[in-house]
Amino acid sequence: MILEINHVSFSYGSIGVLRDVRFSVSPGEVLAILGPNGAGKTTLLKCINAMLRPETGSVLVEGHEVLQLAPSDIARKVGYVAQQSEPARLTVFDAVLMGRRPHIRWKVSERDLMVVDAALKRLGLDNLALRYIDQLSGGEFQKVNIARALVQEPSLLLLDEPTSSLDLKNQIEILSLIRRVVCSHRIAAVMTAHDINSALRHAHKILFLKDGMVFAVCGSRDVTAATVEAVYGVRVEIHHVGSIPLVVPLDGQKA
């Protein structure tokens, strides 16, 4: 197991957000956290790399208790792609090199540069290396953010709605990229998502979060209409197009 979460609870002041959350992710797996707005998806993600500190429970990454590690140590194990990142006046290369920060002591080493170079090539960003990131398109910029998390050389990748502001082509490109990297490097990824169909298509496992509790964890092929209805309160049917499950809402159709 790369990630094991046991009995994690979290609250903002007196408002409980997460209650007794537990699940695990194995190498080569992408897990998508789904659930209605305010269900605690982002909060859960931030508990995994200790950006938020759960009140109870444990978060084990490769067997290490994350809550007892220093921030730099966590950053060497867990890469995080935030929902929003600011395009500063940095080149693509420097913006990705920043991901080496947990490894850099005083000076950027030759290996740091080599790792960045390899990551840029893997993501098809190498011809943009010296472009400023505030001149990139949304899709390219998101690839930079992912590349930055990858050069941390993490065993676990956390992504907060990685495709929320991207068009269809970029959504598919980014999500299959994540899946490919996770499979080929035998790491794991946990992402939050709104689009249930793209999550079903690209993630191996789905975790449904409702009112701060795990409603169901299952393989993306095994999601049932009853589960989706119970979590979102919307009547749905699940059709299969080839091997891809497709959730079709029945409410609110055009007359």
Partner 1 sequence: MHFDDGQVPEEYTRYIGRKIAVILAGVAVLLGLLVVSVSLGSMSIPLLDVVRTLAGRSVSERLDIIILNIRLPQALTAAAAGAGLAVSGAVMQSVLRNPLGSPFTLGLSHAAAFGAALAVMILGAGTMTSSNVGAVHISSPYTTTGIAFFFCLVNAGVIIAVSRLRRSTAEVMVLTGVALGALFTAGTMFLQYFADDMQLAAMVFWTFGDTARASWSELGAIAVLTLMLSLFFQHNSWNYNAIDAGDETARGLGVRVDRVRLLGMLATSLLTAVIVAFLGIIGFVGLVCPHMVRRVIGGDMRFLIPASLVTGAVLLLASDTAARLLLAPHVFPVSVLTAFLGAPVFVALIVRGGRR
Q: Which stretch binds partner 1 (CB under 8 A): 122-130, 165-173, 188-196, 229-237?
A: 122-130
Are the C-beta atoms of 67 and 92 separated by less than 8 Å?
no
**149-187 core/surface letters (b: 16 or more CB in 10 A; e: else):** bbbbbbbbbbbbbbbeebeeebbebbbebbbebbeebeb
- How many CA atoms within 13 Å lie on the side-chain side of 243? 3
CA dist 149 and 81 (Å) reads 6
From 53-61, 70-78, 161-169, 225-233, give the range in contact with partner 1 by CB under 8 A.
70-78
* Residue 28 buriedness (CB in 10 A; 0-12 / 13-18 / 19+): middle
- How far is it, in rounded angstroms, from Cα 98 to Cα 108? 10
- Interface with partner 1, residue 106, by CB under 8 A: yes
Among the candidate windows 9-17, 30-38, 81-89, 162-170, which touches partner 1 by CB under 8 A? Answer: 81-89
Interaction of residue 152 with partner 1, rule CB under 8 A? yes
Please give the biggest Cα pair distance in the chain. 65
250 binds partner 1 (CB under 8 A): no
Cα–Cα nearest to 49, from 41, 61, 32, 40: 61
Return the number of the residue (130 or 168) whose C-beta is nearest partner 1.
Answer: 130
Q: Which residues, 177 to 206, sit near partner 1 by CB under 8 A?
A: 185, 187
Q: Is 99 in the site for partner 1 (CB under 8 A)?
A: yes
Q: Which is nearer to partner 1, 84 or 253 (CB)?
A: 84
* Contact with partner 1 (CB under 8 A) among 7, 53, 121, 221: 121
Interface positions with partner 1 (CB under 8 A) = 49, 51, 70-76, 78-86, 88-91, 93-95, 98-99, 101-102, 104, 106, 110, 113-119, 121-122, 129-130, 132, 134, 145, 148-155, 158, 185, 187
